Homo-oligomer: A and B are copies of this chain.
């Protein structure tokens, strides 16, 4: 029904999914990459850079801000957006852990010619 049954899953699973969902849009990936490159940036920069409308980019920025990944500090008429390194590091670790869970676990309980 378009609504995720978050109550079925652990807090960590939901957290991971939330981060992944936030990264799950090329515009937000591009915004983060641009922020990293410049290490400081105002919204209007991005409008020229990405080719999306200002309102759209503002919305993407809002989502990233809600996640805590970026901070926005008011700077006169403009807003300076930066990546929050602490949160970035935390999420990086979360994903690393998730991806590391795999290793090369043994063949396990399925048939020999499976996979």
A residues near B, CB below 8 A? 4-6, 8-10, 13-14, 16-18, 20-30, 33, 36, 38-41, 50-52, 71, 73, 75, 80, 82-83, 85, 88, 91-92, 95-96, 98-102, 104-111, 113-115
A92: chain B residues at CB < 8 Å are 99-100
Number of copies: 2
Query: Closest B-chain residue to A96, C-beta based?
Result: B96
Query: Closest B-chain residue to A41, C-beta based?
Result: B110
Known: A13-B29, A82-B110, A91-B99. A115 touches B40 (CB 8 A): yes
Known: A85-B104, A99-B92, A115-B73. A26 touches B9 (CB 8 A): yes
Task: Give complex CA distance A45, B33 in Å.
Answer: 40
Task: Give complex CA distance A108, B25 in Å.
Answer: 26
Most chain B CB atoms below 10 A, which of A14, A21, A22, A26: A26
CB of A93 to closest CB in B, whole Å: 9
Task: Give complex CA distance A29, B39 in Å.
Answer: 31
Known: A16-B29, A17-B25. A107 touches B39 (CB 8 A): yes
